[in-house]
Amino acid sequence: MVERLPIEYIPQHHPNVTAPMRAKPRPFSPSRRRFLGLSLCAASACLALSCKRDDHVVEVDLSRTLADKDPDAGPDLHLAIGTMLSPRETLASYGQLTAWLGGRLGRRVILVQRKSYGETNDLLVRGEADVAFVCTGAFGAVRKKGARILAVPVVQGKTSYRSLIVVRRDDPATSFEDLRGSPVAFVDLLSLTGRIYPELLASRAAGDGGKFFGRTVYSHSHTDSMSMVREGRVRAAGVDSLVFEELGRKEPQKAAQLRVLVESEAFGIPPFVGRPGLEPALRDALRAALLAMHQDRQGADALEAVGFDRFEAGDESSYDSAQEILEHFAETGITP
């Protein structure tokens, strides 16, 4: 039986490297494409922040061609993403989407790749990125500084997802309380499903300033978190429901070794956002292009390449519960 715990808190350096990719990327299989889309929309879309800060950034020119920029084109558009993919894999998966977007807007698109959600947020706030794919928890942080949703991806017909606390199939735990003192895996400091929601439950269960979990480790991705649970390296992990469901479709024998102990309420899916102060004309053009993307043949192909069905207009109220969690964290001192 899955324990459902709804949110109750209503009132919470390295030099930059420019790396144009000239080799033609090898296309991914349909199942790999779906996984890439889920990886972006899930907290596994980036490497975890650890004790050391890595300021390495990769910029990939994802224009339709590598010719010199058209002098009549608009200013370059910088699109940020924090991802566990290599620059070459990033080009292979997101090259079509950004090239299509650049062609539709009449601008060259530069993909800026960072290794964590926090660093991606920093790019938006400093104006070094115009738009970005961010996780739900990261959006809660950057939303306060003026970032706004342009569109949200639809993945497998959904614009929402949940945090799942998973354990091994044979684990005797029957409630979250049974995990007290146990080792757990987190994904990223700003991962809503992979760290923030589990920490919320832990702070609620621990009481006044107590410690609930035992040893905690950062796994770098939801799939790795699930592997750590299966292998017994940790007892539990917070994971994204979309990634867990995809594992069940792709590798049912692995998913069968796990079970869901706790399931959160639904959260808004990680959105595509514009930086604070984004020019209204550019904002409107971006939104119109994204919302019509699936109606264009090349646009539909680009969406398929990253595992998205289409884009829809986002409702920022869908992200209020995540914002409340962040505010609760700030009140209790568990700042992401």
pLDDT digits (tens, 9 = 90+) for 229-238: 999 999 999 9
Furthest CA-CA distance within the chain = 65
Read off the pLDDT band of 317 (50, 70, 90).
confident
- Cα separation of 169 and 154, whole Å? 30
Note the pLDDT of residue 227. 96
| Banded model confidence at residue 94, pLDDT cuts 50, 70, 90 | confident
Does 17 or 26 have the greater pLDDT score? 26
pLDDT exceeding 90 applies to what percent of the chain?
A: 47
Q: How many domains does the chain have?
A: 2
Range of weakest confidence among 164-178, 194-208, 255-269, 278-292: 194-208
Give me the pLDDT at residue 190, please. 76
Structural domain includes residue 138? yes
β pairing state of 258-263 and 77-82: unpaired
For residues 141 and 167, state if they share a domain: no
Confidence (pLDDT) at 5: 43
My answer on whether 143 and 179 are in the same domain is no
What is residue 42's predicted lDDT score, i.e. its pLDDT?
45
Same-domain check for residues 135 and 65: yes
pLDDT of residue 46: 34
Tell me: the pLDDT tens digits for 126-144? 999 999 988 887 787 788 8
Residue 2 lies in a domain: no
Q: Residue 82: what pLDDT?
A: 65
pLDDT of residue 89: 56
Are both 129 and 224 inside the same structural domain? no
Q: Report pLDDT for 87.
A: 54
Same domain, residue pair 32 and 104: yes
In this structure, are 238 and 178 located in the same domain?
Answer: yes
Q: What is the CATH number of the domain that holds 283?
A: 3.40.190.10
Q: Is residue 94 part of a domain?
A: yes
Q: Is the pLDDT of residue 8 over 70?
A: no
CB 16 within 8 A of CB 59: yes
Range with the largest mean pLDDT of 22-31, 55-64, 113-122, 139-148 = 139-148
* CA–CA separation, 258 and 124 (whole Å): 37
**Alpha carbon distance 45, 137 (integer Å):** 12
Give the pLDDT score at 13.
30
Residue with the larger pLDDT of the pair 114 and 143: 143
Same domain, 65 and 151: yes
pLDDT for 27:
45
DSSP string, 144-176: TTT-EEEEEEEBTTBSEE-EEEEEETT----SG
Predicted local distance difference test score (pLDDT) of residue 26: 41
Of the spans 39-43, 226-230, 317-321, which averages the highest pLDDT? 226-230
Give me the chain's average pLDDT, please: 78
pLDDT tens for 155-213 read 889 899 999 999 999 999 999 999 999 999 998 887 889 998 999 899 889 876 678 99
Q: Among the three residues 267, 297, 317, which one is the final residue of a domain in this structure?
A: 267
Is residue 253 within 8 Å of 292, Cβ to Cβ? no
Q: How many CB atoms lie within 10 A of CB 195?
A: 27
* 37-65: pLDDT as tens digits: 554 444 333 322 222 333 444 444 433 33
228-265 burial, b at 16+ Cβ within 10 Å, e below that, comes to: bbbeeebbbbbbbbbbbbbbeeeeeeebebbbbbbbbe
**Residue 30: which domain range?**
7-157+270-332
Shared domain for 256 and 283, answered yes or no, is no
pLDDT band at 311 (very low <50, low <70, confident <90, very high): very high
Q: Which of 240, 267, 294 finishes a domain?
A: 267
pLDDT in tens, 65-92: 333 455 555 789 999 986 544 556 556 6
Q: In terms of domains, do 261 and 274 share one? A: no
- In this predicted model, which residue has the larger pLDDT, 311 or 90? 311
1: in domain? no
Nearest alpha-carbon partner for 44 in 166, 226, 214: 226
